Each structure stands twice: as C-alpha cells, then as structure tokens.
Amino acid sequence: MTQLLKISLPDGSVREVEAGSTPADIAAAIGPGLAKAALAARVDGEVRDLNRPFDGDAELALITSRDEEDALELARHDYAHVLAEAVQALWPGTQITFGPATDDGFYYDVMAPASREPFGMDDLPAIEDKMREIIKADKPLVREVWSRTQLIEKWQAEGEAFKAEWAQELPEDEELTVYWSGEPGSEGAWLDMCRGPHLASTGKLDPDAFKLMRVAGAYWRGDQKNAQLTRIYGTGWLNKKQLKAHLHRLEEAALRDHRKLGREMDLFHLQEEAHGSVFWHPKGYRIWRELEAYMRRKMDGAGYREIKTPQLMDVRQWTQSGHWGKYAENMFAVPDMVPEVTEEDGAASPKVADDADWMAIKPMNCPAHVLVFKQGITSYKELPIRLGEMGCCHRNEPHGALHGLMRVRQFTQDDAHIFCTEEQVVEEVRAFCKLADSVYKDFGFDYHVKLALRPEQRFGSDADWDKAEQELRDAVAEAGMANDDYGWEELPGEGAFYAPKLEWHLTDAIGRTWQVGTIQGDRVLPERLDASYIGEDGGRHRPVMLHRAIFGSYERFIGILIEHFAGRLPVWLAPVQTVVATIVSDADPYAKEAIAKLEAAGIRVESDFRNEKINYKVREHSLAKVPHLLVIGMREAEEGTVAVRTLGEKQQRVMPLDEAIAMLTAEATPPDLRG
C-alpha cells in the first residue's frame, strides 16, 4: 500500500501526497501559475528547495517573489554561485572558497590561477556576460548528499585546496550537501559545496537584475597570515526595476556622502595623526553647538540634571561592572606612567611604575553615573533621578571599520541614565518615548520602534529579563507606538548583555535606515555596582537603571543629518545662515548696514564684497550650501531692499531688508523655541 503524507497549507487545507513528493508537485497540482511563480518552500518553518522530497507529514508554505525577504536571500545566494561558476568557466584553475548573500547583494572569494594576475575591475564585464549566459541556459540546481570522504577526494583531485581544507574540518556525522548547476555528472555541469537552499534552476534568476560592483582583497578565513584572495562583490535583485532603484539610491548616496560634503562645506576633516577622531572646523563645530544647545533645552525641560564624569577610571571598576569581560578588546587601557630620563639623549621616555594602577578610557558613561548616584544616601522620595552627560567616550574600533563620522574611535553621546523604582519604570520609558518623538519630528525624520530581546549570553535572571522586557512593551503601548504606524517589531536575541532595549530606527530622505536612539531597562548594573536607595520601609532597595540616548552620538547624528539633507541643513542649524553679496563696490556701504542689522538680529551672516561676477559668487555659496544669499546692487541700495536667492530655488525674490531679516529670524529659530 502506498504511503500517503499529509501536507497542511496556510489556508488550512490538507493535501495527501505520496511519499517522495515535493513542494514543486503540490505547486503544480494547485495550478500552473503557482508552479511558475514558486521559488522555494518553507517546510515546517525551514526554507527548502522546491524539489526536495518531504520527510513526512508537514506544514508547507510556498515562497514566491511576493515573499520579498526570503526571495531576495535565495536569489542573492544563487547569484553568488553563478558568479563562481562563471569565473571558473572563464579561467580554469581558479580556486573558489565561499560566497554568501549580503544585505544588498552577494560576493564570492576566489583565487586566480597562477597563470594570471589577481582579478580586477577590468574583468567584471566578461564575468557578467558569462553569468547571464549561465542564467539564460536555465540549468537545474540539484541537491545531493555526499560523504565527507567524497568531498575531500573531489576537492583534492581538482586542486581546490581551500575547499579541501574546509571539508576536512567538517564533522563526520554531519549531513553534507552539494549542489550541481546542470544535470549531475553531465558535460558542463558545475558543482559546489553548500548547505542551500537554492532556486530550482538558474533561469529563475533575472539576467538583468544584477551587477558586479567592485573587487577587494580578502584573506582566507579572515586571517592575514593566510593566502590573499580576491573578493568579487555584486548586487542582486528580483527584477530590473529593483536593480535600477538600488543603483539610483547608490548614486544619491554618493552625492550625499557626508565626507564629500564635509570638505565642500568646510565642516571637518580626518587624518592619520588622530585616526578615528574628528577635527571640527569652525563651521562644523557651529552645527555641533546648535545641536548641543537644542538637546540641553530638551533635557532641562524633561527634568534631567547634567553632570560631567572622568575619562579615565580604574580597570577594576570596569571589571566589576562587567564591561571589561565584554569590551576589553575595544577599550583603551594604560598603566600609570612615570617619566624616565635616558642617559643617551636626556629625553624623557615613559616607564611603567612598579605600583602601576591600570586605567581604562571610558567606552561608555554608565558606570560613572552609578558612582555619582551612590554619593550620599538617596531616598525613594527623590526618585526618579535623571542624570545626563554630553559624555566623550573612546572605543578601539578596528581600523577597517572606521567610516567618516559614522564610525569613529572618539565620540560624544547625548547620554543619560534614569534611576527609578520598579513602579516608575513604565512611566519613565513612556515619557522618554514622547521626548524622542518630539526630537525626531523636529528634524523631519520618520522612524520605527523595535524591541531588542535577551541575547543568549547575558547577565541577570530570567525573571528579571521577563519583567524588563514586559515593562518596555507596556511603555511603548502606553505611548501609542506599539503598532504598524511606528513599524513596531520585536528582535529576538539582539538586546545588550545586561538589558533589553528599545531602538529608534530613522528613515532618511533616500529611504536608508539608521539606528540612533535607545532606552534600556537594566537591573544588572545597579546590582553589580551596589547602587541602592532607602525605600518607604526604611530598607535598602535596588533602583532600576534606564540607559537612554536620542542622538546616539553627535558625530554620527551630524553625519546622518548632512546626508539626509544633502548638506542643505535647516536654517537654524546651518553654520552660515546667509551671505550678503554685492554686485558692484558702490553698494558696499549699504551692504555693511544690512550686515550690521542681520548680526543684531542674531543671524549668522558673512559678507562677499569680492570683485567677482555675481554668478560666480552664487555658484560658490551654493556649493557651500548657504541657505539664503542676499544680493545687493545699486538698485537695492537705493530702494532699501535685497534680492533673496534661496538654495535650490531658481527664482529670486526682491523684498525690503526688514522683511528679509524677519524671514531669516523666523527660520533661524530652533523648532523647540517656535511659538
């Protein structure tokens, strides 16, 4: 008697199929349209190949292009395999290693044959053409299970040293799978070791929906002691329209690059003498000062008290807090130094003292804030206590991870910690949600709120984590943000080692997201650092410590703002809010009067009296992203007017000087101070 399997579908129906049947069989039975659209299958929650037989009774959901996240992951995985096949077809003797999908595409690490130079940008067009040929051939992608011995023998026989090394380390009892591109063993069939899953055939990919982007050096297994490989990067999508949109976003991102705009606007620079730290120029630091003043007003209005804590603290403090065990490799630590004068040249050189105290530069502010909280005896009547700090921190980020203002080694946070009772947590988090909302709206950002839940490696009891996670859920619900309008989502395993956290993910003008604000409900650090308050019962109690920030870091937030606004910052943030430019020198006296009035009104104004054509001046100040240019000629001087050229607008407006000053004053007023 034929064994029948029961396959449950998402609509609640159940289909009985013979043993050996596949998801592709069910898709075909439902209809030819679904059979054509199906890309893979989710079987009992696991994504699998369409042609992989069922193991038994199962729940089945077919994956189509409408399931974009899963579909993109599959397509990019396949593009990576097609890339490797194409390279080996073009240059026999090329060794392949691994090639995963990435957030917007794929890559594959390869080693060129000894007969040629490492692959470069000039090779990419030929590889793309070969990839399209493989895709259009619609070669079946066939899964097989091999033994570890089979794999090792194959790779060694074919000179695939990297694959053979990896295969030798695989567990004997693990199910090892390979995928053929083409009928197994047939002429022109190509094989790679892979867990899968894959699409049913290469033809499921769109030959016009990918592009190879660049090449870079990469070490085998990420170790610079090993052989250097070539990493070929590509971007891959489900259709040509998606690819075109992505390439447009990349073009926009390049135009908005904060490093490029920072140079053009004379805001900041970076150099090797202080790698990972920022040299702020006067104009860039004006943006910083305006943001800092804005945030201070927000924090003062919300009941925070600002403090300042040391840069250096004894390593024992970081050990007690738990940070040393988690972040030591990213911390800058130094022993106590004393000068020693050498006999050779009389110069002072550092020498470690015999009784040296090991100190670490703070990578975060929280332990220091606990020490401030612990000074004196605190009553429950004083809670909540909100301590804020524009705290400068240092983290020893890897050299290759540094990126302009977005990833630095020295940064300043708009940091604060709230010490409160258990009963006050939900209200304090709810109030923070509203505060963060008001800040992001002032800058014109849309955002999503996400809850990062407990990681596998963590401090604290499960009961405390249960309580902390639920408090954050309740607070977001009370703030009216636990819904689709705010992109509410829970992220398993992504919390900090000491606390779950709410995250604010901003969406910028070209659709990119940036995780900035956060609040974390922490019961671990108060326990480890012995923080307490006197309760109503006269006994000692542990406070809950809420770690929170809105900008995240000033450096990164300024970088985000520059890219979001493409350098065209709101007038209140612009380092130079207007430039008064003359057409002829005879207009200089009136222009100087106008500048004096603008300065008296608090407008940040510069003059341009150079003997240059006005169109040249307009182009130069447009490049510097000055919001308004006030042009003055003899006609304006005689009539007491100015010609206003606004950045991004083609037409100029002529208006009385006092009206222009009123307009600028209104735009230069920070949003939190407007009526």
Q: DSSP states of 24-56 as a string?
A: HHHHHHH-HHHHHH--EEEETTEEE-TTSPP-S
Question: Of 163, 386, 417, 523, which one is the catalytic site residue?
Answer: 417
Mean predicted confidence (pLDDT) in 293-307: 97
Q: At what angle do helices 282-301 and 554-564 cross, to 10 degrees?
A: 110
What is the rounded distance in angstroms from the CA atom of residue 517 to the CA atom of residue 224? 36
**What would the mean pLDDT of 461-482 be, rounded to a whole number?**
94
Judged against a pLDDT cut of 50, whether residue 84 lies above it is answered with yes
- 506-560 pLDDT, tens digit each: 999 888 899 999 999 999 899 999 999 999 999 999 999 999 999 999 999 999 9
- Assign 650 a pLDDT band (cuts: 50, 70, 90): confident
Which residues have a Cβ under 8 Å from the Cβ of 449 and sit 6 or more positions away? 433, 476, 481, 482, 486, 487, 488, 502, 503, 504, 505
**Between these two residues, 345 and 400, which has the higher pLDDT value?**
400
> Which value, in Å, is the radius of gyration of the alpha carbons in the chain?
31
Flag whether pLDDT at 593 surpasses 80: yes
| Mean pLDDT taken over the chain | 92
Q: Strand 578-582 vs strand 628-632: parallel, antiparallel, or unpaired?
A: parallel
In terms of C-beta density within 10 A (0-12 exposed, 13-18 middle, 19 or more buried), how is residue 461 classed? exposed
Residues 6+ apart with CB under 8 A from 340: 348, 349, 350, 351
The DSSP symbol for 161 reads H
> What strands, in cross-sheet order, belong to the sheet with 105-111?
95-96, 105-111, 228-236, 210-219
Q: What is the pLDDT of residue 330?
A: 85
Q: Which residue has the tokens 């997201």?
A: 513
Q: Which of 448, 458, 501, 564 is labelled catalytic?
A: 501
SS (H, E, C) 615-655: HHHHHHHHHCCCCEEEEECHHHHHHCEEEEEECCCCCCEEE
Mean pLDDT of 326-341: 67
AA letter at 458? R
Residue 423 banded pLDDT, cuts 50, 70, 90: very high
Closest CA to 307 of 393, 384, 417, 395: 417
Residue 173 pLDDT: 76
**Tokens (6 digits) for 383:** 């809670």
Note the pLDDT of residue 399: 82
For residue range 97-110, list pLDDT tens digits in order.
999 999 899 999 99
**Cβ atoms of 569 and 625 closer than 8 Å:** yes
Residue tagged active-site, from 49, 415, 437, 464: 415
Count how many residues are written for the chain. Answer: 675
Q: Is the pLDDT score of 404 beyond 70?
A: yes
The answer to whether residue 413 is catalytic is: yes
Active site residue 547: yes
pLDDT at 238: 96
pLDDT tens, residue by residue, 385-401: 999 999 999 999 888 88
User: Is 417 among the catalytic positions?
Assistant: yes
DSSP-assigned states of every residue in 422-461: GGGHHHHHHHHHHHHHHHHHHTT-EEEEEEE---SS--S-
Distance CA 606, CA 598 (A): 10
**CA atoms of 147 and 176, how far apart (whole Å):** 6
Residues 15-29, mean pLDDT to the nearest whole number: 91
Q: Which of 395, 450, 604, 625 is catalytic?
A: 395
pLDDT tens-digit series, residues 359-368 = 889 999 999 9
Percentage, residues of the chain above pLDDT 70: 96
Q: Which domains does the chain have, with CATH numbers?
A: 4-64 (3.10.20.30), 69-250 (3.30.980.10), 279-308+362-564 (3.30.930.10), 312-342+351-361 (no CATH), 578-673 (3.40.50.800)
Catalytic residue list contains 323:
no
The whole-number pLDDT of residue 1 equals 54
Residue 422: phi and psi, rounded to 5, are -55, -40
The residue with tokens 């691994």 is: 98
pLDDT at 351 over 70: no
621 as an active site residue: the answer is: no
Torsion of Cα atoms, 59 then 62 then 63 then 64, to 10°:
-160
Model confidence at 354: pLDDT above 70: no
So what's the pLDDT on residue 335? 66
Distance of alpha carbon 348 from alpha carbon 351, whole angstroms? 9
Is the model's pTM score more than 0.85? no
Average pLDDT, integer, range 491-501 = 91
Pick the closest to residue 235 from 75, 40, 125 (CA basis). 75
Residue 191: Cβ within 10 Å count: 18
Range 41-44, long-range pairs (CB < 8 A, 24+ positions)? 42/70
Distance of alpha carbon 213 from alpha carbon 105, whole angstroms: 10
- Asked whether residue 73 carries a pLDDT value surpassing 70, the answer given is yes
Tokens standing for residue 444 = 């014109």
First to last CA, the chain: 82
CA distance 37 to 118: 39
What is the predicted pLDDT for the residue at 3? Answer: 79
In this model, does residue 321 exceed pLDDT 90?
A: no
Catalytic residue among 366, 369, 528, 556: 366
- The predicted structure's pLDDT at residue 142: 94
How far is residue 487's CA from residue 482's CA, in Å, rounded to a whole number?
8
Predicted pLDDT at 292: 97
Helix (DSSP H) and strand (DSSP E) numbers for the chain: 20, 34
pLDDT (average), residues 557-586:
96
CA separation for the pair 109, 80 (Å, rounded):
10
Q: What is the pLDDT of residue 2?
A: 64
- Strand 40-43 vs strand 210-219: parallel, antiparallel, or unpaired? unpaired
What is the structure's pLDDT at 341?
A: 46
Backbone angles phi, psi at 107, to 5 degrees: -150, 165
349 pLDDT tier (thresholds 50, 70, 90): very low
pLDDT, residue 121, reads 96
pLDDT tens for 108-140 read 999 999 889 999 999 999 999 999 999 999 999
With cut-offs at 50, 70 and 90, classify the pLDDT of residue 616: very high
Report the 3 state secondary structure along 462-491. HHHHHHHHHHHHHHHHHCCCCCHHHCCEEE
| Burial of 670: CB neighbours in 10 Å, binned 0-12, 13-18, 19+ | middle
**Does position 338 have pLDDT exceeding 50, yes or no?**
no
Six-digit token pair at 242? 């998606």
